[in-house]
């Protein structure tokens, strides 16, 4: 399979580098972005249409919906029937489905990635693929050159919906981290040492992802085998959140996320509403 890669920025360049030995066509509006990959053995193309015409898989890693749509408009008419257009950018949930509806004989997949620059450089990204079974089978191997977790999430659009849910957790956690730092700073705790503790223990426990154990957000049945585990998590969480809120009140630190977390902690774990007063 010949792969073409459009968009050689902070993520795209290291992703594409893993594909050079397999035969790679590249395009970017910046000549300086092409040079390192060409030196490694990739072939630069004069434009998107040339790249698309010579590729079985076209990977797009550009900035936003507008750029994705612009690249796709030029690539799709030039692509051969049965080829795959893969969108790795994080875009609106509907954009990939809209493109797929007018892609004709070309398969469109949305395949956003998670793992940042370090994952791209190390070939350890996670990629969430939305598309047909046929399209997924075609791109699974080349994606595996730069990702060590390649999951088929469902039809076109499912990859992006997965990425948006993942990033909701990611960036909301940043706000929670800021709230925790304000509490620590007000109580005289070193923020650098707090950060070391957080990074160390999250690497051990898996952080927030460690609680994502259930296939549904519906309330747990009384006989669910996860019930004792999550009852224990709830007891610890509600205790520690209560203590943190008491400390915040003593120090006059506003912690709105912590208040909301305590109010919704039990139901978020799937424990029935009536249990919150039990």
| Catalytic residue annotation | 163
Residue 12 makes CB contacts below 8 A (sequence gap 6+) with: 5, 6, 28, 59, 61, 62, 88
Which residue, 270, 152, 144, 172, is CA-closest to 212? 270
What radius of gyration, in Å, describes the C-alpha atoms of the chain? Answer: 23
Q: Is 46 helix (H, G, I), strand (E, B) or coil?
A: coil
- What span, in angstroms and rounded, lies between the C-alpha atoms of 202 and 212? 14
DSSP codes of every residue in 87-143: E-S---TTHHHHHHHT-TTSEEEE--EESHHHHHHHT-EEEEEES-HHHHHHHHHHH
- What span, in angstroms and rounded, lies between the C-alpha atoms of 65 and 43? 26
Which residue, 186, 179, 94, 110, is CA-closest to 143? 110
Tokens of 245: 């809120």
Which residue, 123, 124, 150, is CA-closest to 137? 150
Phi and psi at residue 254, to the nearest 5° = -80, 125
Query: Which residues is 43 bridged to in the sheet?
Result: 25
């Amino acid at each position: 399979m010949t792969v073409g890669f459009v968009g050689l920025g902070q993520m795209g360049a290291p992703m594409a580098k893993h594909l050079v030995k397999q035969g790679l066509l590249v395009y970017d509006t910046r000549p300086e972005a092409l040079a390192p990959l060409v030196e490694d053995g990739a072939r630069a193309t004069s434009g998107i249409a040339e790249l698309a015409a010579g590729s079985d898989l076209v990977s797009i890693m550009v900035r936003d919906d507008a750029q994705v749509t612009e690249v796709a408009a030029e690539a799709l008419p030039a692509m051969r029937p049965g080829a795959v257009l893969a969108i790795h950018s994080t875009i609106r949930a509907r954009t990939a489905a809209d493109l797929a509806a007018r892609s004709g004989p070309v398969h469109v997949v949305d395949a956003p990635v998670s793992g940042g620059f370090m994952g791209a450089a190390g070939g350890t990204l996670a990629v969430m693929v939305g598309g047909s079974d046929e399209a997924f089978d075609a791109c699974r191997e080349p994606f595996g050159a730069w990702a060590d977790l390649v999951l088929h999430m469902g039809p076109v659009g499912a990859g992006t919906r997965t990425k948006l849910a993942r990033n909701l957790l990611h960036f909301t956690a940043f706000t929670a981290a800021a709230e925790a730092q304000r509490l620590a700073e007000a109580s005289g705790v070193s923020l650098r040492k707090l950060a070391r503790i957080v990074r160390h223990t999250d690497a051990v426990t898996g952080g927030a992802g460690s609680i994502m154990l259930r296939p549904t957000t519906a309330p747990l049945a009384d006989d669910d085998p996860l019930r004792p585990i999550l009852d224990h998590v709830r007891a610890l969480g509600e205790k520690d959140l209560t203590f943190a809120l008491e400390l915040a009140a003593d120090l006059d630190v506003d912690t709105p996320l912590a208040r909301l977390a305590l109010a919704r902690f039990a139901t978020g774990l799937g424990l029935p509403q009536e249990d919150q007063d039990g």
